[in-house]
Amino acid sequence: MSDTTVSEPRSLKPGLVPPRSGDPEITDEVVTGHGLSAEEYERVLRIMGRAPTFTELGVFSAMWSEHCGYKNSRPALRLLPTQAPWVIQGPGENAGVIDIGDGYALAFKIESHNHPSAIEPYQGAATGVGGILRDIFTMGARPIAVLDSLRFGDLDSPRVRYLFSGVVKGIGDYGNCVGIPNIGGEVHFDRGYEGNPIVNAMCLGLMKHEDLITGVAEGVGNTLMAVGARTGRDGIHGATFASEELSEDADEDSRPMVQVGDPFTEKLLLEASLELIKSGHIVGIQDMGAAGLTSSATEMAGRGGTGVTIDVSRVPVREEGMTPYEILLSESQERMLVVAEQGKEDEVRKILEKWELEAAVIGEVTDDGLFRVQESGVTVAEIPALPLTTGCPTYEREGIEALEIAQLRDRELPEADAPERDLSEAVLTLLDSPNLASKRWIYNQYDTTVRTGTAVRPGGDAGVVRIRGTRRAVAATTDCNGRYVYLAPKTGAQAAMAEAARNLVCTGALPLAITNNLNFGNPTKPHIYYQFRQAVDGMAEACRIFETPVTGGNVSFYNETDGRAIYPTPVIGMVGVVEDVDHVTTHAFRRPGDAIVLLGVNTNELGGSEYLYAFHGLVAGAPPSVDLMAERSLQQATLEMIRSALVCSAHDCSEGGLAVALSESAVGQEKPLGFEVRVDDPIAPVPLLFGEAQGRIVLSCDPDDVEAILEIADKHGVPAQSLGTVREAGDGLVIEAGAHRVHVDTHAARQAFTRALPRRMDQTLTADSE
């Protein structure tokens, strides 16, 4: 392990601050309890030139937590490409921003709320949505869509069902109330997430270029204002908590008080913030998210190269007797920190009042580079601002692959040669797998059509929102198969990138950029750091080849329960633009008689598949390989076909393999259809039908257009073959593979596909189930 921090920023040394009466004394235990190592505490002493007060220790602890400080991830994240001509705002702000043409810009970001959701699924997920919405509208963008990426253990556990249903309800209730349509997401169920669910929420926001604003505390003498909800004792030290492992017998009282979301206040805050930004009365605005007032104030000062002074006694509070420590570290929701132009405080207050919200002056921007906190005029903390943000110690660690994973990857797989079961039955069983089945049970609880922009709703390959007044639309998707990443982190991360890009092009969108949410275990363990580092390397390479830079993201470490880590899950949130809404395409077959064409190559790769998990309970083998150049050609070919108006439907072929992709196009719509196809590749039937080879897309088109499609494929060097024909529902789903024949009744397939989740969820849910 080597400490590779940049040289310490030069800054004023803080003055002496006497201990505040009533605050605990600082002992070794107190320091350890704040998650700071002995070396880190040494560093605090060096920066301060003296011992910190209790309040100051709390500030360091929060800012240098993994969550705020990116201690273990920052060096690796520097490897990710972040630039392209269309990137307006890269990483480092509340959200990334790209140009999408016609004078519009798109802000987007993904954020995790795994730990809070494990404790209180409803509020944890709800406040996760609240936080990501604020990250978007503090950029000056109006949120236009939400996506959610979820992971849980297997649904046969009552506790998992309780978590799953609470999370979905929390996401729905919050987004629905604010009025932001959900346009997609994903969910996987696998024992690898038992006890430690993943809840990532992504938001897209639209703005005109000139409305961009950032979280910067500029202009000495400008006024800091706390805006929105009052500060309570909820979530104190949530950031530090999110940087620790969960343990099943964790003391209830040691956990921070659960944060409760108030989407109604959020909606008012959203409107008020956008109005404030338009008004020109403010120079900066930022959400009080993780580590609350502390992180928003110090980050804004850090970016502005300024200092700030805050008086906590002026912060509107919900409860009496709150200490400076509590006020600084509270994670109460629906609050903003605003830097108003000096003299414009009343104008700001007026706008907030219209929206029935409070705005209080709590401090000002200074030129001394210090984060100074006062309590009724008495200084209780004084810390150089820059070291708090950029001076967080960072670590680049040794990574080593765990032997047992290498063994799993190399092990021999059942059914790689000959099927042990009836293949038609196997198709039905897979369609009933919660991982492959319709997610309608989820998105029926989400408003998907509010704001009248949703051109492709959840249930397709990617969500699409048209931009009123233009011919354009934006598309977004989230993807990651944690099993692949577990078995081979670099390949797995590239597969996530490739799937996201395929999902976008299938709707007619050109992929432009990504945000990512890196969900991993404890990075101080060498085999976890290995996963992390490999995944970042893989992602970086794919970003370069796809020309989709990273504009922001989030790292969530310590996703472990009792020492067991989740599958490494670097969720990719990718956005793209459809140039003309006439190109918007969905995955559903449209007309009997249409031809079915496969782009890409079937391979003999069964590793990491849902088939192995569903029938053998196995997560093993090498995950399907990824050829990034071939993926890129596939993307370009598909887009050209769609833009030439040759394509009736396009569907990414991935989890569940070819048989499942075809079935989804047939029965994954209200009026199911049938199909009849023939595949003659010299591959054993199970890997052929259910292997999850990358780089494939299933299209349907007018039979007269097959030739044109094959020509475009050929031009791009993309292998393509005509597979068969879309049929009436009554003809069933028919696949001939060499000597094997699959024939599934369309109605039975649709039942399996649509009933899988409701069937499992229509059971009693209790909070205390083990």
Partner 1 sequence: MRVAVLTFPGSNCDYDLYQAVKQVGGEPVWRWHRDRGLEGMDAVLLPGGFSYGDYLRAGAIARFSPIMEDVRAFAEQGGPVVGICNGFQILCEAGLLPGALIRNESLRFQSEDCLLRVERTDTVFTSDYAPGQVLRIPLAHAEGNYRADRETLDRLEGEGLVLFRYVDESGEVVREANPNGSLNNIAGIVNPAGNVMGMMPHPERAMETLLGSADGLGVFTSLLASLATAG
Partner 2 sequence: MAHYRIEIRVTPRPGILDPQGKAIHHSLQNLGWTAVDDVRVGKAIHVEMEAESEESARSEAEAMCRKLLANPVTEDFEVYQVEEA
Ligand X SMILES: Nc1ncnc2c1ncn2[C@@H]1O[C@H](COP(=O)(O)OP(=O)(O)O)[C@@H](O)[C@H]1O
Chain residues binding ligand X by CB under 6 A are 148, 150, 182, 184-187, 439, 442-443, 458-461, 479, 503, 652, 654-655
Question: Which is it for strands 182-189 and 223-228: parallel, antiparallel or unpaired?
Answer: unpaired
CB of 182 to ligand X, least distance (A): 5
Q: Considering the complex, what minimum distance in angstroms separates the CB of residue 672 from Mg ion?
A: 21
The interface with partner 2 within residues 60-99 (CB under 8 A) comprises none
Tell me: does residue 341 bind partner 1 (CB under 8 A).
no
Q: Annotated catalytic, 237?
A: no
End-to-end alpha carbon distance in the chain: 38
| Partner in contact with 184, chosen from partner 1, ligand X, Mg ion, none, beta carbon below 5 to 8 Å by kind | ligand X
Distance CA 770, CA 767 (A): 9
Q: Can you tell me which of 66, 299, 479, 664 binds Mg ion, judged by CB under 5 A?
A: 479
Q: Of these residues, 34, 113, 281, 583, which one is catalytic?
A: 113
User: What residue is closest to ligand X based on CB?
Assistant: 185
Closest to 639 measured CA to CA, from 590, 595, 579, 594? 579
- Counting contacts by CB under 8 A, is residue 117 touching partner 2? no
Residue 652 binds Mg ion (CB under 5 A):
no
Binders of Mg ion in range 172-231 (CB under 5 A) = 186
Q: How far is the CB of 8 from Mg ion (least distance, A)?
A: 44
Closest by alpha carbon to 363, among 354, 374, 355, 352? Answer: 374
- Residue 712 vs 756, nearer CB to partner 1: 756
- Which distant-in-sequence residues (6+ apart) come within 8 Å of 605 by Cβ? 621, 622, 623, 624, 625, 687, 691, 692, 693
* Interacting span for partner 1 (CB under 8 A) from 70-78, 451-459, 486-494, 637-645: 451-459
User: Toward ligand X, which CB reaches closer, 363 or 460?
Assistant: 460
Angle value at C-alpha 390, between 384 and 394, nearest 5 degrees: 125
Is residue 748 a contact point for partner 1 (CB under 8 A)?
no
50 touching partner 1, by CB under 8 A: no
Residue 640's CB is within 10 A of a number of other CB atoms, namely 17
Closest CA to 312 of 16, 20, 12, 13: 20
Query: E-strand spans in 262-340?
Result: 282-287, 307-311, 335-340
* 145, 163, 268, 383: residue in contact with partner 1 (rule CB under 8 A): 268
Determine the distance from the C-alpha atom of residue 219 to the mean position of all C-alpha atoms in its chain, rounded to a whole number.
34
Question: Can you give the length of the chain in residues?
Answer: 770
d(C-alpha 223, C-alpha 328), whole Å: 18
Among the listed residues 67, 372, 466, 632, the single contact to partner 1 using CB under 8 A: 466
Q: How far is the CB of 764 from partner 2 (least distance, A)?
A: 4
Nearer to Mg ion, 381 or 588 (CB): 588
Residue 385 binding target from partner 2, partner 1, ligand X, none, CB below 5 to 8 Å by type? none
Please state the closest distance from residue 201 (CB atom) to ligand X, in A: 10
Q: Which amino acid is at 714?
A: D
User: Judged by CB, which is closer to ligand X: 331, or 655?
Assistant: 655
Minimum Å distance from CB 663 to ligand X?
12
User: What is the per-residue binding string for partner 2 in 323-362, x denoting contact by CB under 8 A?
Assistant: ---------xx----------------------x------
Q: Given the complex with ligand X, which of 184 and 568 has the nearer CB atom?
A: 184
Closest CB to partner 2 among residues 170, 215? 170
336, with CB counted inside 10 A (0-12, 13-18, 19+), is buried
Nearer to partner 1, 457 or 678 (CB): 457
Q: Which is nearer to ligand X, 241 or 443 (CB)?
A: 443
Please, which residues bridge with residue 285 across strands? 338
Does 179 contact partner 1 by CB under 8 A?
A: yes
Give the Cα separation of 234 and 519 in Å (integer): 24
Nearer to partner 2, 255 or 471 (CB): 255
Of 166, 263, 384, 508, the residue at the interface with partner 1 (CB under 8 A) is: 263
548-587 residues near partner 1, rule: CB under 8 A: 581, 584
148 makes contact with Mg ion (CB under 5 A): no
67 has catalytic annotation: yes
Q: Using DSSP, state whether 147 is helix, strand or coil.
A: strand
Instruction: Give me the DSSP letters along 500-555.
Output: HHHHHHHHTPEEEEEEEEEE-S-TTSHHHHHHHHHHHHHHHHHHHHHT--EEEEEE
- Look at strands 733-737 and 395-396 and give their pairing: unpaired
Cβ burial 219-233 (10 Å sphere, 16+ → b, else e): beebbbbbbbbbbbb
Question: Nearest to residue 123, comparing CAs of 259, 238, 241?
Answer: 259
Report yes or no: 630 and 498 within 8 Å, Cβ to Cβ.
no
Q: Are 118 and 195 in contact (CB under 8 A)?
A: yes
Residue number, 252 or 670, with CB nearest to partner 2: 252
* Spatial CA neighbour of 136 closest among 181, 94, 177, 105: 94
- Eight-state DSSP code of residue 291: T
Span near partner 1 by CB under 8 A; candidates 40-48, 263-271, 366-374, 430-438: 263-271
Q: Does 165 bind partner 2 (CB under 8 A)?
A: no
Interatomic CA distance for residues 73 and 340, integer angstroms? 33
Tokens of 470: 């233009």
Instruction: Report the residue number, 66 or 262, with the smaller CB distance to partner 2.
Output: 262
- Binding pattern for the stretch 260-279 against partner 2, x by CB under 8 A and - elsewhere: xxx-xx--------------
φ and ψ at residue 501, rounded to 5 degrees = -65, -40
One character per residue 351-380, x = contact with partner 1 (rule: CB under 8 A): ---xxx------------------------
Specify the stretch interacting with partner 2 by CB under 8 A; choose among 9-17, 251-259, 397-405, 455-463: 251-259
- For 20, which DSSP code? P
591 near partner 1 (CB under 8 A): no
Give the max Cα distance, the chain: 85
CA neighbours closer than 13 Å in the CB half-sphere of residue 576: 30
Q: Which stretch binds partner 1 (CB under 8 A): 98-106, 326-334, 400-408, 440-448?
A: 440-448
Q: Which does 186 bind (CB under 5 to 8 A by kind): Mg ion, partner 1, partner 2, none?
A: Mg ion
Closest by CA position to 129, among listed 108, 107, 146:
146
Q: Does 228 bind partner 1 (CB under 8 A)?
A: no
Site string for partner 2, 355-394 (x = CB under 8 A): -x--------------------------------------
Q: At 226, give phi and psi (nearest 5°).
A: -95, 130
Q: Which is nearer to ligand X, 323 or 586 (CB)?
A: 586
The minimum distance between CB 330 and partner 2, in angstroms, equals: 11
Distance of CA 216 to CAs 199, 282, 286, 366, Å? 29, 10, 8, 13
| CB 336 within 8 Å of CB 269 | yes
Question: What distance lies between CA 243 and its chain's CA centroid?
Answer: 17
**191 vs 457 by CB, closer to partner 1:** 457
Q: Does 262 bind partner 1 (CB under 8 A)?
A: yes
If binding is defined by CB under 8 A, does position 143 make contact with partner 1? no
Q: How many residues bind Mg ion (CB under 5 A)?
A: 2
Q: Which does 172 bind (CB under 5 to 8 A by kind): Mg ion, partner 1, ligand X, none?
A: partner 1
* Catalytic, out of 67, 115, 237, 281: 67
Backbone angles phi, psi at 272, to 5 degrees: -65, -40
Residue 503 interface partner, choices partner 1, partner 2, ligand X, none, CB cut-off 5-8 Å depending on type = ligand X
Please list the active-site residues.
Answer: 67, 113
- Using CB under 8 A, list all residues that contact partner 1: 169, 172-173, 176-179, 262-265, 267-268, 354-356, 443-455, 457, 466, 468, 581, 584
